[in-house]
Amino acid sequence: MNENEEQVVKVEQERTSSVGKMDMSGAFGAGSINVEKVQGAENFGKTIIRLIKYMKPEMVALIVMILLSAVGAWFAVWVPDILKKVTNYMVDSIQYFKTEGMLDDGYIARICLISGGLYALNAVFQFVSGLVAASMAQHVVRRMRYDIKVKLDKVPISYFDGTTTGEILSRLTNDVELVSVTLQDSINQVITVVTTVSGVIFMMARLDWLMALVTVCSVPILLVISSLVIKKSQKEFDKQQLLIGKLNGHIEEMYAGHRVVMLYNHEEESIADLEVINKQLLKATRKAQFLAGIILPIIKLINNITYVSICVLGGYRAGLGVISIGDIQACIQYTKQFAQPVENISNIASTIQSSIASAERVFKMFDLAEQGKEAARCDTTEFTGEVDFKHVAFSYTEDKPLITDMNLHVNACDSIAIVGPTGAGKTTLVNLLMRFYELNKGEILIDGHNIQDMHRDDLRNIFGMVLQETWLFKGTVAENIAYGNEFATREQIVTAAKKAHAHEFIESMEHGYDTVLNDDGSNISQGQKQLLTIARAILKDPKIIILDEATSSVDTRTEKYVQSAMLAMMEGKTSFVIAHRLSTIKHAEVILVMNHGDVVEQGNHETLMAKGGFYRDLYLSQFQGQKEGEPAGDGSGFIQT
């Protein structure tokens, strides 16, 4: 394991899983929307302002959506004021009901048609507003995902060392989706709530100020009670989330090492540990759901008390002749209209808070420091692969220097083997060579050109790499081989596969080069994966080849094919081979022996063995009990790394 991997593992061990989700929306009488439990935004106001600025290209759609939502909500608010006329007319005309033809059916029909029309317009406007909001939200989140991807392509590799893959995926999926929820649903709901509440209060005040006052007084009571319960339930949800993370971590750990668990007969212990966490989670969830579940009944109770109060007060005021029966009917309708958005306020506020927190985290990704500015493009076709390290110093952290003063000259077409104990700096050396990290001081030259003065794309076009952990994507065999050369013809792909000794097994597959590989290439063997990655590197035809433990995960028989393929790939190229098998290391022109970040010895195998230094100790410790020159007992001899 190299230095970077050790740092990543440390971060993985320390992180707390947060994939659990909560659903409080059902308790607030709203549609069920699963919202990932998140902390509130650190800078709520600034994030909202930044989100509005980010939405500038969609500002016209946003304004249209707000207007449609507001007008649609106003149509619904208008209806009770119109319907009261029918009630008043029928009450005034009740003395004539016994006289046929005295009731004006046409007037009643017109009022009913107008009311129905307003409700229809409300539905149409809300529907169109929803469509505009959905379109606007998808445009924004599409741009947001694109901007995140562009940013991730520009940040230093060190960011990925200290950030888990799950966290990055969470920004691209969960956080962006939560922003989408706010833009698509919550803004519409907020506009509807504001328009409905303000419209209802205005219309009720026109009818009777006292009943309007009773209705308005219920709002602070609702908000105070809701906030108290939510504050208490939030603590319980925090406990629930911690336990969900613990449970997910246990499950992931157990099933990732399922074979080992079975091998050592630890199934019962694993189940017992799971049951302990499960019971704790059950207890915490019951408490959290109970507190969240009582919010809606409390809100409905207060709304019903307000409703009854309006009925009693309205009857009394009508008896005094202050208002009409129609006014009472309108106020009762307004009370119902007023109750629904108030019931949803808590859920809307919770969703918006979560979404703004998500937007803040996305914007923090936008603010990540990028790699230095790119240099001008240059032509690398005439490069031969000569490499020079001059007084190179580098450390991952300031307090732990790794490479202090490395000087190294590599001739073009030389094969350089790099050996040394774990943490010696072997992988760091090639990472610096490809400029995955920037030097603290010194310079690296390729054919006399300082890599700091080269465009990263031009620099990395010089290199081909084969790693221990192969990477294949879901696509055809041909597409995977051609990944490093998108303009390659089928003939070139086949030629590269033949050089990599992969052609035979590819042809034996059902669809040959058009066989589709799984996401992780699980439908072929590890050795076959390695041969495909070698074919990919051969097809790219780089000037410098890097092999990082490229044969350590294949069997002895496959190793022969892989080694033969690698030798063909390395022919006429400068090559850096990390922890390669003994046969390749022994025949390398130069063996670099690294320890504590510096090259402590260099030379060929015979020279280093004769020197009797650090390399000889490594060699003998690996093959203790064997005479030099004898083959390893398992056929897999390699220098310790």
Residue 540 clears pLDDT 70, i.e. is over it: yes
- On whether both 130 and 201 belong to a single domain, the answer is yes
* 530, 560 contact by CB (below 8 A): no
Residue 263 clears pLDDT 80, i.e. is over it: no
pLDDT band at 579 (very low <50, low <70, confident <90, very high): low
pLDDT, tens digit, for every residue of 459-507? 888 888 887 777 888 888 899 899 878 788 999 999 988 888 888 888 8
Residue 415 clears pLDDT 80, i.e. is over it: yes
**Cα 133 to Cα 135: distance, rounded to the nearest angstrom:** 5
pLDDT at residue 128, rounded to an integer: 93
Comparison of pLDDT for 251 and 492, the residue scoring more: 492
- On whether both 238 and 119 belong to a single domain, the answer is no
**Cα 212 to Cα 310: distance, rounded to the nearest angstrom:** 9
* 229, 298 contact by CB (below 8 A): yes
What range does the domain containing 101 cover?
A: 40-207+345-371
Phi then psi for 40, rounded to 5 degrees?
-65, 160
DSSP, residue by residue, 451-473: GGGS-HHHHHHTEEEEESS----
CATH number of the domain that 99 lies in?
Answer: 1.20.1560.10
3-state secondary structure of 493: helix
**Which of 512, 541, 570 finishes a domain?**
541
CATH number of the domain that 536 lies in?
Answer: 3.40.50.300
- On whether both 123 and 245 belong to a single domain, the answer is no
Place of tokens 């966290």: 167
Question: Residue 514 corresponds to which amino acid?
Answer: D
**Burial of 234 by CB count in 10 Å (0-12 exposed, 13-18 middle, 19+ buried)?**
middle
- On whether both 49 and 166 belong to a single domain, the answer is yes
pLDDT at residue 571, rounded to an integer: 79
**Which of 493, 509, 541 finishes a domain?**
541
Place of tokens 């392509």: 153
pLDDT, tens digit, for every residue of 582-601? 555 777 778 888 887 778 88
Place of tokens 């009472």: 328
pLDDT at residue 131, rounded to an integer: 92
- On whether both 58 and 193 belong to a single domain, the answer is yes
pLDDT, tens digit, for every residue of 173-195? 878 888 888 888 888 888 888 88
pLDDT, tens digit, for every residue of 268-304? 888 888 888 888 888 888 887 787 777 778 777 887 8
Phi then psi for 469, rounded to 5 degrees?
-85, 105
Share of the chain above pLDDT 70, in %: 83
- On whether both 261 and 155 belong to a single domain, the answer is no
- On whether both 55 and 185 belong to a single domain, the answer is yes
pLDDT at residue 132, rounded to an integer: 92
Check residue 112 and report its DSSP letter. H
Place of tokens 């989140």: 141
Nearest Cα neighbor of 532 from 545, 550, 549, 556 is 550
Residue 112 clears pLDDT 90, i.e. is over it: no
What is the crossing angle of helices 267-293 and 295-319, to 10°?
Answer: 10
Cα torsion 429, 434, 437, 441 to 10°: value is 70
> End-to-end CA distance of the chain, in Å?
8
Comparison of pLDDT for 22 and 170, the residue scoring more: 170
pLDDT, tens digit, for every residue of 201-243? 888 888 888 888 888 887 778 778 777 777 777 677 767 767 7
Tell me whether residue 155 is in a domain: yes
Tell me whether residue 442 is in a domain: no
Mean pLDDT within 543-548: 85
**Cα 551 to Cα 417: distance, rounded to the nearest angstrom:** 14
Mean pLDDT within 419-427: 78
Count of all residues that appear for the chain in the document: 641
Tell me whether residue 629 is in a domain: no
Average pLDDT of every residue of the chain = 77
**Cα 350 to Cα 28: distance, rounded to the nearest angstrom:** 10
Tell me whether residue 101 is in a domain: yes
Neighbours of 202 (CB within 10 A): 12
Share of the chain above pLDDT 90, in %: 4
Tell me whether residue 448 is in a domain: no
Cα–Cα distances in Å, from 167 out to 12, 129, 357?
11, 34, 15
Nearest Cα neighbor of 34 from 42, 22, 45 is 22
pLDDT at residue 212, rounded to an integer: 82
3-state secondary structure of 402: coil
Q: How far is CA 571 from the centre of its chain?
A: 42
**Cα 550 to Cα 333: distance, rounded to the nearest angstrom:** 75
Tell me whether residue 79 is in a domain: yes
- On whether both 200 and 232 belong to a single domain, the answer is no
Place of tokens 């698509």: 184
* 343, 306 contact by CB (below 8 A): no
What is the crossing angle of helices 490-499 and 526-540, to 10°?
Answer: 120
DSSP, residue by residue, 572-593: TSEEEEES-BHHHHHT-SEEEE
Tokens of 202: 């205005």
pLDDT band at 557 (very low <50, low <70, confident <90, very high): low
Residue 19 clears pLDDT 50, i.e. is over it: no
Lowest mean pLDDT, pick from 8-17, 211-220, 227-236, 614-623: 8-17
Tell me whether residue 596 is in a domain: no
**Number of structural domains, the chain?**
3
**Cα 627 to Cα 609: distance, rounded to the nearest angstrom:** 13
Residue 120 clears pLDDT 90, i.e. is over it: yes
Tell me whether residue 425 is in a domain: no
* 575, 563 contact by CB (below 8 A): no
Residues 6+ apart with CB under 8 A from 594: 418, 419, 420, 424, 425, 426, 429, 600
- On whether both 201 and 217 belong to a single domain, the answer is no
**Which of 541, 569, 592 finishes a domain?**
541
Check residue 447 and report its DSSP letter. T
pLDDT band at 123 (very low <50, low <70, confident <90, very high): very high
Tokens of 412: 């073009």
* 280, 243 contact by CB (below 8 A): yes
- On whether both 158 and 116 belong to a single domain, the answer is yes
pLDDT, tens digit, for every residue of 39-63? 555 677 888 888 888 888 989 998 9
- On whether both 301 and 267 belong to a single domain, the answer is yes
- On whether both 126 and 237 belong to a single domain, the answer is no
pLDDT band at 121 (very low <50, low <70, confident <90, very high): very high
**Cα 601 to Cα 147: distance, rounded to the nearest angstrom:** 46
Comparison of pLDDT for 399 and 75, the residue scoring more: 75
Residue 15 clears pLDDT 70, i.e. is over it: no
pLDDT at residue 37, rounded to an integer: 43
